[in-house]
Structure 1
Amino acid sequence: MGLGILNTKEHQHVFGTTLLEEKEPEGVETSRLKVDPRNPQVILVPQPSDDPNDPLNWSLLKKNLCFIALCCGSSISTCAGPMLSSAYLDLEVEFSMSLTKVVQFGSIVMIMGAPALWIAGSLIPIVGKRPLILMSILLEAVTSVWGAKANSYGSMLGARAVMGISNGPPEAVVAGVIGDLFFLHERGFYSSMWNMSQLIATNISPLIPAFIVVRLGWRWAFWILAICSIVVFGLIFFLAPETHYVRSLQGDDISLPEDVADNMNQEEKGNVLHAEIPPAATSRNPSPSHEKSYIGQLRIFNGVTLGISFWDSLTRPFVVLLFPTVLFASFGYTMSICYSVLLSNSVAQVMGEDPYNFSTIELGVLYVSPIVWTFIAFLIAGRLSDYFSKNMALLNRGVFEPEFRLVLIIALLVLGVMSLIGYGLSVIKHVHWFGPVFFFGMNSAAACFGNTAYISYVIDAHRTLAAESLIAFGIFKSVLIYILLYFITDWINNQGVKKTFITLACLNVFCCLTAVPMYINGKRTRRFIQSIRVLNRLQVQEMEQEREREAMEMRNED
């Protein structure tokens, strides 16, 4: 048992288990493996190729600028959902509709994002990531203009529905880019950065429109969103080249040679893989290709990626939901976001009435709290995740297990329970407004820790299917949040603030505790997936298709 993780009964290859630290039993050959130049003890996973166009070989500055630009695209799309939260009371009067109906302006963005995310994710292996995110940002600008000119409830609902469609591709793109640009030991930090950008966007979008609504009217919130979308389009166009790259998969799983493993005891065997890297596994091409010029990298379309059909790609997000690991992480990820979204959508209902009676601007200013909490969590969560992973791998004879990422869920458990119960009790006890505002922000920090844990876990456990897994996350999240948003207003009215948020706190405890059996049995669960032919075929098929595409590209280069 490696650090509490049960080993598989037979000594066989398990996807996700990887040699990360050069602290292995005598006889393991690691001299030909590429290592982190800033920390030579850390082996680079996946192993980068010798191609200068491989995104893993880009300079750190280029990687960061690309990732920040794409995070801006994802954030501007995220802003669309909750941007009207602080204006719900004004829209209730404007369209003569109940608050339950007006809340649909936010929830319909979520539900329409689900099919868009699904289709966009299916197109990525075929057309790449760059054209999808650029087109989605343009569509958001167009629908923002539509929303600004809407004169009826139906027209506004239609504008928001199409805006939801534009929100799908950025989430699918950025989720996959983390694995394209960064190595395993870096992904915790960048997953946390993406989570921070998402959560801050969720919370800043009601803040800024609150001032716009009071000074200029709610329509100007849409005009300004359209302008920001065009600016972000420019950032992505000039700073974010295509990151979709076909690489050899043989360099991803690094472990002991079979003859060395045979001389180890059963527990030691269970902590490593059963395959040795072939000599050519570290390079995609036999010789480096010429680096593309900056102008060449600005091409929107970089050609069709062969080897996978659209219909095959379309079914994959639903198939990966049959993986116990992905289903577990999807549910946990969705629920950690749900609490923040439900709190955000209940603010106008709770804080806009007695005894607080907050104005539209005051409701918007409340979102400063989650912004601050999220930024603090970002500074801690990603680095902490990578720190735990590297040090636990060191204690585990240099072998990394994806389950090490789940340790961060402890923070979600503690902060989540404190924030939900604290918010409910402070409101029902009519304490000073600082109390509910403090706990409101704390919940965003909890979500940041939780999201970093779940996303990093799936990316590390199923790297070849990371994009499909994260798309499944998004679909799961959109559908569940839409259902909960539809009932949250009436739920609070019928059950009261105290019972509602204590119930949510208990649900958070349950979700977090499911991580305990998954941590202990995660490796056996991954092995179980490989033993089921229908499930394992998807992982193996992806590897075979990667190798076919690699061979085809090498023939074309010759």
Structure 2
Amino acid sequence: MSELEPKGIITTVSESPKVIKGKNGDAVILVPQPTDDAEDPLNWPIHKKILIFACVGFAGFAGQMAPNSNQLTFLLQTETYHDTTSDMLNTVAASLAGWVAGPFLFIPFVAVIGRSSVILWSLVVVFFCQIWAAKMTGAGDYISFTISRFICGLFGGIPSSLGAGYIVDMFFLHQRGKAFAVFEVLIIFAVVGGGTLGGFVAHTLPWTYTFWWTLGPVGAAIIGVFLFVEDTTFSRQPGVAVRSPLPKSWIANRIATFLPGTRTQPAGKGREFIKRAITPLQITFAPITLLMGTYIFIALGLPIMQASTLATYLQPPTAIGGYGFSSLQTAFFTMTAWIGMIAAQVYGYLFNDKIPLWVARRRGGGTWKTEYRLANTILPSLLLPIAIGLYGAGLQYHLHFMVLAVASFLIWFGALLVMPVCYNYIVECFLHNPVETSVSLNAYRISFGLMSVFISTDWQTATGVGWMWGLGAFLILLVDGIMVGLILKGHLVRQWTVRLNSAIAVSEDGARITAKLDPATP
């Protein structure tokens, strides 16, 4: 039986908790407890949940991939615009800046037209921004091209920020680790994969095709969202306003959900809009988020810096310290990151739920504590400083490119092990605001990558390439200390957060998650 499917419910009596049989013979108690309402997404059949999740995940992938589809090919555009490498690198920075700002600006519209509608129309904007970029082929089009990248980034990061809401709505606590692992790997895979595929395209076609080809996946994401994604909001909080049921007819349901989607939201949209605009800022500066955000800023920012600046190390001629790679060879090199991400995906799917449940049984006697999620950060926290240090040494001493390839694999394997766990943990610290929490975490994750685009040249000039990345490795060791503190004392930091803002600091601490089965239970 798949752990993602709540089959084999042992009891459905209202006064008894609903549980499923765990693989080790224990009972896994369903948290949160599903209601008897058919509108409750927790009660939906697993095939429906997976279909919606797949469409939202692909939307996040397509939206995240499009803004940086020229990540490995921007050097080819210097001949078109007659600009320097630094100027073209700034176009990549424009996309990153959009990723940071866009969710803060547009996620509040979820309160007006709903998550599904915001995803759909964000993808439509991304689609047209890709056409805009591909048409900027004149020598004087640099500014317009850069603006297209910024706007594409503004809207491209929105679907990935909304995915956490669907995960929390549709899946139980013991399933979310897998769901976050799949979703976050898709998002980061888009960051690297978009550039890789663009590199393959640019090997035989003009650079404009690095944007034209993305219309396929972005268009497919638009169609998938429109056809299959449904509104999953369902309040279990007493006294909270709820929307009226949506139409059952497919066409009427699609119109109510997307055109423009106001029927998916209950009354009081204006007040809720203001609340959703403020909540991400409250979460961003909450004590628990500041600590985890600092870890994410460094541990996930450095891999983004590695991906954003990769072409500047591999493509220059060997005579000036590069490796003389073509765009095709650079694209093949990034396959090491792909392999690392796939390995992290497999590991996360197998262990991101299993290890926390094991810790809950051994240390908590079957009672849940949110910090149990963080047991899965121990391995990547050890791997990342080693990988970053190896990458810097390879560049400093101009070692064989296979040394850089091994380092790249370890960087992305470690980053993609830790990222879903960190997101899952903080989302479960602010359980009623998963989307706003993702907005906050995305800002921490992307900010270092954005900053590095502007400072990496001066940083490298001041310290040398080896010490630049070596310092990065030491910074990860420093924030590893923060992670150790969160594993051991994170619950105390969350108590401070509750004192500051009890309205948003909601978790599932103390919930009974496992229990011994009655031998008489079938």
What is the TM-score with the length of structure 2 in the denominator?
0.86
What does 1:156-175 correspond to in 2, within 5 Å? 156-175=145-164
Match of 1:306 in 2: 267
Match of 1:496 in 2: 464
Match of 1:315 in 2: 278
Residue 217 of structure 2: which of 212, 228, 233 is its match?
Answer: 228
Match of 1:33 in 2: 17
Is 1:324 the counterpart of 2:287 in the alignment? yes
What does 1:438-453 correspond to in 2, within 5 Å? 438-453=406-421
Deviations 1:432-467 (A, max 9, x none): 221101211221111111112211111222211322
Task: Report if aligned partners of 2:305, 2:448 keep a CA contact under 8 Å in 1.
Answer: no
Residue 80 of structure 1: which of 66, 80, 83 is its match?
Answer: 66
Q: CA 1:320 to 1:219, structure 2 compared with 1: closer, same or farther past 3 Å?
A: same
What does 1:86-97 correspond to in 2, within 5 Å? 86-97=72-83
Q: Using the alignment, how far apart are the partners of 2:246 and 2:165 within structure 1? A: 25
Q: Shift of the alpha carbon at 1:487?
A: 1.2
Q: Using the alignment, how far apart are the partners of 2:449 and 2:391 within structure 1? A: 20
Q: Shift of the alpha carbon at 1:360?
A: 1.3
Alignment-mate amino acid for residue 413 of structure 1: S
Q: Using the alignment, how far apart are the partners of 2:390 and 2:252 within structure 1? A: 54
Is 1:512 the counterpart of 2:501 in the alignment? no
Task: Report if aligned partners of 1:108, 1:164 keep a CA contact under 8 Å in 2.
Answer: yes
Residue 153 of structure 1: which of 142, 145, 161 is its match?
Answer: 142
Residue 502 of structure 2: which of 536, 540, 543 is its match?
Answer: 536
| Secondary structure in structure 1 of the residue aligned to 2:324 | coil
Is 1:364 the counterpart of 2:331 in the alignment? yes
| Secondary structure in structure 2 of the residue aligned to 1:48 | coil
Task: Report if aligned partners of 1:332, 1:454 keep a CA contact under 8 Å in 2.
Answer: no
Match of 1:136 in 2: 122
Deviations 1:96-131 (A, max 9, x none): 212111111111111122232013322223321110
Q: Shift of the alpha carbon at 1:154?
A: 0.6
Match of 1:237 in 2: 226
Match of 1:380 in 2: 347
Deviations 1:325-378 (A, max 9, x none): 122222222323212111112211111232521111111111111011101111
Q: CA 1:304 to 1:465, structure 2 compared with 1: closer, same or farther past 3 Å?
A: closer
Q: CA 1:233 to 1:103, structure 2 compared with 1: closer, same or farther past 3 Å?
A: same
Q: Shift of the alpha carbon at 1:496?
A: 2.2
Q: CA 1:290 to 1:124, structure 2 compared with 1: closer, same or farther past 3 Å?
A: closer
Residue 382 of structure 2: which of 410, 414, 422 is its match?
Answer: 414
Q: Shift of the alpha carbon at 1:316?
A: 0.8
Q: Using the alignment, how far apart are the partners of 1:208 and 1:238 within structure 2? A: 27
Q: Using the alignment, how far apart are the partners of 1:485 and 1:55 within structure 2? A: 42
Task: Give the alignment's Cα RMSD to 1 decimal.
Answer: 2.5
| Secondary structure in structure 2 of the residue aligned to 1:85 | coil
Deviations 1:2-60 (A, max 9, x none): xxxxxxxxxxxxxxxxxxxxxxxxxxx99611223666711111111212222211111
Q: Give the stretch that moved more between structures: 434-443 or 238-247.
A: 238-247
Q: CA 1:512 to 1:100, structure 2 compared with 1: closer, same or farther past 3 Å?
A: same
Q: Shift of the alpha carbon at 1:486?
A: 1.3
What does 1:40-55 correspond to in 2, within 5 Å? 41-55=27-41
Task: Report if aligned partners of 2:302, 2:448 keep a CA contact under 8 Å in 1.
Answer: no
Q: Using the alignment, how far apart are the partners of 1:82 and 1:128 within structure 2? A: 27
Alignment-mate amino acid for residue 267 of structure 2: L
Q: CA 1:238 to 1:290, structure 2 compared with 1: closer, same or farther past 3 Å?
A: closer
Deviations 1:453-511 (A, max 9, x none): 21111122221132222211123334333222211233234422211111111111111
Alignment-mate amino acid for residue 221 of structure 1: T
Q: Using the alignment, how far apart are the partners of 1:512 and 1:317 within structure 2? A: 25
Q: Give the stretch that moved more between structures: 31-40 or 217-226.
A: 31-40
Q: Shift of the alpha carbon at 1:416?
A: 0.6
What does 1:88-487 correspond to in 2, within 5 Å? 88-150=74-136, 151=138, 152-248=141-237, 292-298=248-254, 299-300=257-258, 301=261, 302-307=263-268, 308-353=271-316, 354=318, 356-395=323-362, 396-487=364-455
Q: Using the alignment, how far apart are the partners of 2:394 and 2:238 within structure 1? A: 53
Alignment-mate amino acid for residue 332 of structure 2: V
Task: Report if aligned partners of 2:302, 2:449 keep a CA contact under 8 Å in 1.
Answer: no
Q: Shift of the alpha carbon at 1:290?
A: 10
Deviations 1:64-107 (A, max 9, x none): 11111111111111112432122122122221212111111111
| Secondary structure in structure 2 of the residue aligned to 1:50 | coil
| Secondary structure in structure 2 of the residue aligned to 1:400 | coil
Task: Report if aligned partners of 2:297, 2:447 keep a CA contact under 8 Å in 1.
Answer: no
What is the TM-score with the length of structure 1 in the denominator?
0.80
Match of 1:69 in 2: 55
Match of 2:5 in 1: none
Q: Using the alignment, how far apart are the partners of 1:341 and 1:529 within structure 2? A: 29
Q: Using the alignment, how far apart are the partners of 1:507 and 1:471 within structure 2? A: 24
Task: Report if aligned partners of 2:57, 2:160 keep a CA contact under 8 Å in 1.
Answer: no
| Secondary structure in structure 2 of the residue aligned to 1:406 | helix
Task: Report if aligned partners of 2:301, 2:447 keep a CA contact under 8 Å in 1.
Answer: no
Number of residue equivalences: 476
| Secondary structure in structure 1 of the residue aligned to 2:28 | strand
Deviations 1:174-217 (A, max 9, x none): 12221111111111111111121012111211111112212111
Alignment-mate amino acid for residue 304 of structure 1: Q
Match of 1:547 in 2: none
Task: Report if aligned partners of 1:189, 1:381 keep a CA contact under 8 Å in 2.
Answer: yes
Q: Using the alignment, how far apart are the partners of 2:423 and 2:64 within structure 1? A: 18
Q: Using the alignment, how far apart are the partners of 2:337 and 2:135 within structure 1? A: 31
